Chains A and B, each alone.
Chain A
Amino acid sequence: MSTTKRHSDLERTFGKEAVATIASSHVLLVGAGGVGCEMLKNLVLLGFGKITVLDLDTVDLSNLNRQFLFGHEHIKQPKSVVARATAQKFNPHVDITSHLANIITDPKFTVSWYKGFDLVYNALDNLEARRHVNRMCLTANVPLVESGTTGFLGQTQVILAGKTECVDCVPKETPKSFPICTIRSTPSQPVHTVVWAKSFLFVQLFGNDLDLGEMDESEASKEELNTLKKETAELLELRDVISKPEFGKNVFCKIFDVDIARQAEHNVDNGRQKPDPQSWDELEKLAKHLDGAHIAKSRAQNVWSREEAFAVFLDATKRLQTRFNNGETLEFDKDDEDTLDFVVAAATLFATVHHVTTKSKFDLKQIAGNIIPAIATTNAMIAALAVQQGVWQLTSPERARDYYISRRGGDRFFTVTKPAPPSSSCVTSSAARVVVMCDVDKTKLSDLVEWVSKFFPKEELAVLSSQLIYDVDFDDNLERTLADLGVKERSFVTIMDDSDDDIKLRNLEIYFEPRESAGEASSEKISNITPIPTVPTYTVEKPEEDDDDDDELEVADTSKRGFSEIDSVVILDEEPSKVVKVDEGTDEVKKDVQVEDVEEVVLLD
């Protein structure tokens, strides 16, 4: 299609004025992965005047099936640079800038920098970066189009400060870490047995270093795992015989017989079925005619019996043993059959021991690799919808919508909603914000408190960075400088109402813009670059006093506090920032909002 033809088509679709607006707009695209590549293509073809694309990653072989701006020859090159080069060819009139950079840590990306864009598109694969861009856009007051996909699910939403829901409005699922008590002695789900096999047993036997994946999500688990490591130092001793043929047998007997027998003996009646130690002699007899290597290959879709698992366990152990003895550093990789077979077989045996239902190698692989397949079609649809919403935001904002794609149960495929207002319980949305210029090396904490009290009129207020800097009960540092207290340029400080008042002020977030990007110096110690905000108030709901002081733990209904419990899903590609619940086949997407019809969708391309 010629550029001219495309231009006239666009004018017919969007109108002359809209096309002119698009051509004069400067947009930021954060992320050039599965969704980002699709978006960049769409942005370029729509004729956005200036596009800045940012990614910190390099192209990997596994990207090529869905990230169409990259080819084999680009492997190991920066995604941002390659994406720019490829997309530029689609439309030479577009001015594309690329950054190989980390959006969170790179000092270039200040609030002032964000203010330079008409619109920001998020195409990110992790929550931390999403939340960061969300907060920066809210502070800079720049519209953000947020999007993500997980397998067949996808979502895109427009985020406007004070007007719509933000990334933090809906509680996010965080990857589950598994308490060591559960993993070791009371596993109850296939995922527990996989975590045990992969993050504990495999690492102990073949690992280099106790890099413990799921088990060190929180410090707590890491800590407890270290303990476990100590407790099972015997296991490490087994490494002494790793070069010998009896290694497999020794490992099996320790792990599935001796340790379990000990545990069964200690486990007093706690309502759980006692674990079943597995006898080497018995299984060896049962598995006599089984070929572990063959089972591992040919029965990947079936749940293995314990003797099949036994045969694969010994075979895979032998394979890993050989590699280990050849000096190879072994790491679990779902695509490394030897490591996968070992983990699947060990998890199956562990499940047998603990009476946990188990799954096929195919299913356990998904669990072990935390895989939810990234689907190019979902990415392409979401990217198209997201870019479309951005166009509406710039040209006729009243038309912008949130979109959800789902493909389960009897639900509708597309759900279209008007953007929801910010959640009143969202700390991020409800905060007032101001950008200031301030010499943090000279300004004292007392200066800041004094400055703030002009428009945050509370006696009892708290000042927080990632730490608590000041409150009524902690005024030690008033005469020290902000820099001394760890407050740097490019960072936020939160002012919190710490009073007992019935009507309280929301948080105030102060962003310290670097002086060089903030423009002319001021004689004031602290001067605001953005207008002084009016800090909103809210009425505190007093919880009912519980005056009886007994030791019983009263566990209140968690839903009252606005926390929701969400199933754990660990996601590989760009996940939706809003949780679309996927339990029991009911994909309910915000039932309470007005759902409009599907006819509204205008698909690009």
Chain B
Amino acid sequence: MSEDSLMQKRLMEERKTWRKSHPFGFFAKPAKDQNGNLDLTNWNAGIPGKEGTAWAGATYPMLITFPKDYPTKPPRCRFDAGFYHPNVYPSGTVCLSILNEEEDWRPSITLSEIVMGIQELMNNPNPHSPAQNDAFAAFQKNKEEYDKRVAEQVKKYAA
């Protein structure tokens, strides 16, 4: 499909760049489709919690989906549904300015920058764009509960 060619070219570049070097502890690779080919528009990734933060000790699985008009439009990054974080929708989708076309997304932002941006967001939630009630309310008003839930989540993904 010709409309995909720019997207494919860029994703092949991202794949190669990632293969050559990527941030330590992270992984990212295109998912297999039913024909056994690699689907460049869907990547399985893992974001390790940053050392020295409450999120350390686990790698959080994430699905990164690239739209047809990537890199004009940003990819969607999704943790498992129900992921506990103030800026993650109940569906698991991350609400982050660099992933928002109307805010800070730029076509030059790389996959490494995205996953590191998400790692950074984990311990530094943005109080201005709440995406779920649960974690947001606790983060604002009940730090104890918040920390407890984060720790539980670390345990869940530690395996």
Interface set of A (CB-CB < 8 Å, partner B): 127-128, 131-132, 134-135, 168, 171, 174, 176-179, 181-182, 185, 218-220, 223-224, 226-227, 230-231, 266-268, 270, 427-428, 431, 462, 464-469, 471, 473-474, 476-477, 480, 484-486, 492, 494, 496, 498, 507, 549, 551, 553-558, 560-561, 563
Contacts and interface: CB of A to CB of B under 8 A. Distances in A.
B53 interface: no
A169 B128 CA distance: 40
Q: Among the interface residues B71, B101, B109, B117, which one has the most CB atoms of the partner chain A within 10 A?
A: B101
A558 B72 CA distance: 10
A227 B35 contact: no
13 contacts: A135-B2, A171-B72, A174-B72, A181-B95, A219-B67, A220-B65, A223-B76, A224-B93, A266-B130, A427-B9, A431-B5, A494-B8, A558-B107
Given A270-B128, A468-B40, A227 B71 contact: no
B2 A227 contact: no
A24 B37 CA distance: 47
A467 B35 contact: yes
A263 to B, nearest CB: 9
A268 B141 CA distance: 13
Given A467-B38, A496-B12, A179 B102 contact: yes
A181 B65 contact: no
Interface in B1-45: 1-6, 8-9, 12, 15-16, 19, 23, 30, 33, 35-40
A507 B91 contact: no
Nearest to B74: A220
B145 interface: no
Contacts of A230: 90
B36 A468 contact: no
A475 to B, nearest CB: 11
B2 A558 contact: no
A179 B89 contact: no
Contacts of A476: 36
A268 B128 CA distance: 6
When A and B form their complex, which 10 residue pairs have the shortest distance between CB atoms, in order from nearest?
Answer: A270-B128, A220-B76, A467-B37, A468-B38, A556-B108, A427-B5, A486-B35, A135-B2, A218-B67, A227-B89
A267 B136 CA distance: 11
Contacts of B12: 462, 464, 468, 471, 496, 498
Interface residues of B, number: 58
Interface of B: 1-6, 8-9, 12, 15-16, 19, 23, 30, 33, 35-40, 65, 67-69, 71-73, 76, 78, 89-91, 93, 95, 98, 100-104, 106-109, 113, 116-117, 119-120, 127-131, 133, 136, 140
B36 A477 contact: yes
B2 A134 contact: yes
A218 B76 contact: yes
Contacts of B133: 231
Nearest to B5: A427
Contacts of A179: 100-102
A553 B76 contact: no
Nearest to A431: B5
Q: Among the interface residues B35, B40, B68, B103, which one has the most CB atoms of the partner chain A within 10 A?
A: B35
A551 B129 contact: no
A557 B35 CA distance: 38
B5 A494 contact: yes
Contacts of B127: 268, 270
A476 B69 CA distance: 28
Contacts of A492: 1-2
A476 B30 CA distance: 14
B107 A496 contact: no
B12 to A, nearest CB: 6
Nearest to B6: A427
A185 B128 CA distance: 10
B104 A555 contact: yes
A219 B76 contact: yes
Nearest to A270: B128
Given A473-B15, A486-B35, 20 more contacts: A174-B73, A181-B100, A218-B68, A220-B67, A226-B91, A230-B90, A428-B2, A467-B33, A468-B30, A468-B38, A469-B37, A476-B36, A492-B1, A496-B8, A507-B5, A551-B117, A553-B98, A555-B104, A555-B109, A561-B107
B127 to A, nearest CB: 5
Contacts of B106: 555-556, 558
Contacts of A226: 91
Q: Among the interface residues A168, A218, A267, A549, which one has the most CB atoms of the partner chain B within 10 A?
A: A218
Given A496-B9, A555-B104, A563-B107, A220 B93 contact: yes
Nearest to A499: B16
B93 A181 contact: no
Contacts of A174: 69, 72-73
A231 B90 contact: yes
A472 to B, nearest CB: 9
A584 B78 CA distance: 38
